Amino acid sequence: MRWTMILSGTLLASLGSLTLAAENSKPNVLFLICDDLNCDLSAYGHAQVKSPNIDRLAKRGVLFQNAYCQYPLCGPSRASFMTGLYPDQTLIRRNAIYIREHVPNVLTMSQMFRGGGYFATRIGKIYHYNVPRHMGTGGHDDPFSWNRTINPYGRDKEEEDKIFSLRPGSFGGTLSWLAADGTDEEQTDGIAATHAVNLLKQYGKSGRQFYLAVGLYRPHTPYVAPKKYFDMYPLESINVPTVPDGYYETLPKPARASVRRKKEQIDLPDKLARQAIQAYYASITFADAQLGRILDALDESGLSKNTVVLFTSDHGYHMGEHGHWQKTTLFENAARVPLIIAGPGVTAQGTKTSSPAEMVDFYPTLGELCGLKPPKYVSGVSLAPTLKDPKAMPRTEAFTQYATGYSIRTPRYRYTFWGEDGAAGAELYDHDSDPGEMKNLAGVVAHEEIAKQLSTRLKTRIAEARKAPPGVKQVDFKNTRRVPQPF
């Protein structure tokens, strides 16, 4: 009788495992995002920055060389890609806003997965947080988006008094850094990685279907990382960008203001500039090491073959280019983001694509890869065709906005105008001859025709990005269009 019960129990357990496997035939999702990370990565051709774990992810996925945020500021960008809507649709164009203040009934990307039977977990920063003020809290998170949330809090938060800052006592909105004592695992992002590792081990054993979003805080200011990462970038090896005399006079007034508004960061002394770049690079390599721990756990748990991995940042970042530091411009440095997608449905493994991509495309792309249907109002397009054929182009250009400016990036050109229909000035850059976007060709007779074509296309994109999403309630309130604060 006892053996009969044991055999019956074993059979039931086996049947249960088969049922669970059948239910979990759709891929899992591991969504990895760094904060304020530009494309200064070896996978993107940077000669100095060490990012071995991001590099190895690229070898088994597709790397998008021309992916762009929709707003170069944390809060608006994160609200945009998590809803699949443009900032003029979410009405979120500054920080410190909960998404449901403006779009109360929106269905977020992770809600789609929850509705599809996935267990959605957030570790760290996915929606907006003031950094470092909100570390260890829920920040401006959306609780409807998750089954579970984890808010890591580490030594970097506890030792703020040791951090150097250009504005003493202020860290998130200005250049600040610390070569920290202690280990990776004592830092907030190290703790986040440990949580992710433990969850992946659990999921590997339980078979639970998951959407796991891990948001690292680095390399957002303050640039805090253990000292060993700073040692990888000797100050004498750092290259500080320069700006030629008369450059700022070539820019429209709003563009000039966007790169000159941080007074304490204008014309940094060479030593401080080198230290800031060193600290930023150190923070990138530290973040890469935590990503490596998570990717190792994915492999060791046996989940990598059935898990879509999407790695990105919330926007780009300047490190002295155009004489600017940090974000909030409509130049390539602030608009461009790293994007790598790997896992089931990605057959063009180890390839790079020049196909334009936008962050609003994450929602429909992950939906298609996992057999889920996003709401019809989502503005993004699926990048799945490019994951099979890197020459496929679901988009012909990428769209970004900031303050009163709007910009499109085609494979060759960037065209930007400021004010309604460009009343406050325009910019045109030819990336074939000027990848640094230092020569404004707007108003040059030889480029009038291409400027006209791009202006027409940009106006069309603006009209599309302003369309009210059907079925989504929009609540506007005063001051949503004010110039956002950069932290």
pLDDT of residue 25: 81
CA atoms of 59 and 53, how far apart (whole Å)? 10
Residue whose C-alpha is closest to residue 128's, from 37, 217, 223: 217
CA 262 remoteness from chain centre: 23
Within a domain: 40: yes
Q: What is the DSSP string of 429-486?
A: EETTT-TT--S--TT-GGGHHHHHHHHHHHHHHHHHHTSPPTT------TTTTSPPP-
Residue 154 lies in a domain: yes
What burial letters (b/e) apply to 390-417, b meaning 16+ CB within 10 Å?
beebbbebbbbbbbebbbbbbeebbbbb
Asked whether residue 309 is domain-assigned, the answer is: yes
Give the pLDDT score at 19.
38
Q: What is the pLDDT of residue 481?
A: 45
Query: Residue 83: what are its φ and ψ, rounded to 5°?
Result: -105, -15
Enter the tokens of residue 139: 């920040």
Crossing angle of helices 270-300 and 188-206, in 10° steps, is 10
479 located within any domain: no
- The CA–CA distances, whole Å, from 141 to 8, 14, 268 equal 46, 39, 35
Q: Is residue 369 part of a domain?
A: yes
Write down the pLDDT at residue 410: 98
Is residue 384 in some structural domain?
Answer: yes
CB neighbour list of residue 403: distance below 8 Å, 6 or more residues apart? 93, 254, 258, 328, 483, 484
**Active-site residue numbers?**
74, 128
What's the rounded Cα separation, in Å, for the pair 255 and 253?
A: 6
pLDDT one-digit tens code per residue, 277-310: 999 999 999 999 999 999 999 999 999 999 999 9
d(CA 11, CA 18): 11
Pairwise CA distance, residues 303 & 295, whole Å? 10
Identify each DSSP E strand in 227-273 by its residue range.
none
What's the rounded Cα separation, in Å, for the pair 202 and 390? 35
Q: Show the domain range for 133.
A: 26-395
Predicted TM-score (pTM) of the model is 0.94
For residues 254 and 260, the answer to whether their CB atoms sit within 8 Å is: no
What is d(CA 85, CA 103) in angstroms, rounded to the nearest whole number? 10
Q: What is the pLDDT of residue 23?
A: 45
The domain tally of the chain equals: 1
Q: Is residue 466 part of a domain?
A: no
- Examine residue 277 and state whether it is found in any structural domain, yes or no: yes
Confidence at residue 24, expressed as pLDDT on a 0 to 100 scale: 56
Residue by residue, pLDDT tens for the chain (487 residues) are 333 333 333 333 333 443 344 445 899 999 999 999 999 999 999 999 999 999 999 999 999 999 999 999 999 999 999 999 999 999 999 999 999 999 999 999 999 999 999 999 999 999 999 999 999 999 999 999 999 999 999 999 999 999 999 999 999 999 999 999 999 999 999 999 999 999 999 999 999 999 999 999 999 999 999 999 999 999 999 999 999 999 999 999 999 999 999 999 999 999 999 999 999 999 999 999 999 999 999 999 999 999 999 999 999 999 999 999 999 999 999 999 999 999 999 999 999 999 999 999 999 999 999 999 999 999 999 999 999 999 999 999 999 999 999 999 999 999 999 999 999 999 999 999 999 999 999 999 999 999 999 999 999 999 999 999 999 999 998 654 443 333 3
Query: Using CA atoms, how far apart are residues 6 and 24, in angstroms rounded to an integer?
Result: 26
Give the domain CATH number at 276.
Answer: 3.40.720.10
